[in-house]
Structure 1
Amino acid sequence: MASVKQKEGERILARIKEREYVYALAIEGKQRASEEFAEELDRLATYGKSDITFVIGGSLGLSPEVMQRSDAQISFGKLTLPHQLMRLVLTEQIYRCYMINAGSPYHK
């Protein structure tokens, strides 16, 4: 299993460019409220970190090398979700962040 995780990590790292700010989605990451996440994304954009990459690991998690390369780790809870569902949840949360930052009533 470690070799599978390692190989997946190598494939992930090969696609990440040096300038990208990387969020690793990991159970052990920090949980954030939507408002906190929105503020964080806004701050990144303000300070020139507009190339943001979100990495969703496989069922075994992310390799230590991917975790080390990440700039931040984020958790959406202790649940294990299928990739497609996690992508949907992440997309909705990013949209929610933009709506919060725009002062839209979508958030509430």
Structure 2
Amino acid sequence: MNIKIIGVGKLKEKYLKLGIAEYSKRLQRFCKFEIVEVSDEKAPEKLSDAEMNEVKIREGKRILDHIKEREYVYTLEILGKERTSEELAKEIANLTTYGHSDITFVIGGSLGLSKEVIKRADAHISFGKFTLPHQLMRLVLTEQIYRANMINAGSTYHK
């Protein structure tokens, strides 16, 4: 199984890098795991709707360049479907059982995802209605992927 996270922007905070590194190391026993960073667009604080859309389109093209046709893609979106850790674990297990061994999670930039990326997704996932920094979301998602694998392995980590 191959699991990839595509995130917009470079991770800067050391504590986030350390946390992600720890869970990435733990995930090695379950899958090939990688994080792909695509550059974000430099944009002023105040943008028109058209300018915001253009930023998302440019970031979206960079994201789509890293997605292969065979990959099962989850986009992280506030309006996506909320899942429990157990539900995500079951989905991942079912995907791999039925031939989807390449799973990709996409975290957009501060303005969100382009329509093209959302359309490419096979599923949309939400971690709730909270607004979280997209860089922190990488750590949360990496931990949840690890947790899902531990659940599927029958470990007590989840308790």
TM-score of the superposition, structure 1-length normalised?
0.96
1:50-69 residue pairs with structure 2 within 5 A? Answer: 50-69=101-120
- Residue 105 of structure 1: aligned partner: 156
User: Please, which runs of 5 or more residues in structure 1 have no aligned partner?
Assistant: none
Residue-pair matches, total: 108
Q: Which has the higher contact order (CA 8 A, sep 6+)?
A: 1
> Residue 46 in 1 paired to residue 84 in 2?
no
Q: Which has the higher helix share?
A: 1
C-alpha RMSD of the superposition: 0.8
Tell me how far 1:48 sits from its aligned partner. Answer: 1.3
**AA matched with 1:16:** I
- Residue 31 of structure 1: aligned partner: 82
Q: Partners in 1 of 2:147 and 2:65 — Cα distance?
A: 30
**AA matched with 2:94:** R
Q: Which structure has the larger Rg over C-alpha atoms?
A: 2
Q: Partners in 2 of 1:78 and 1:49 — Cα distance?
A: 29
> Residue 10 in 1 paired to residue 69 in 2?
no
Percent identical among aligned pairs is 74
Tell me how far 1:83 sits from its aligned partner. Answer: 2.5
Q: Partners in 2 of 1:43 and 1:95 — Cα distance?
A: 16
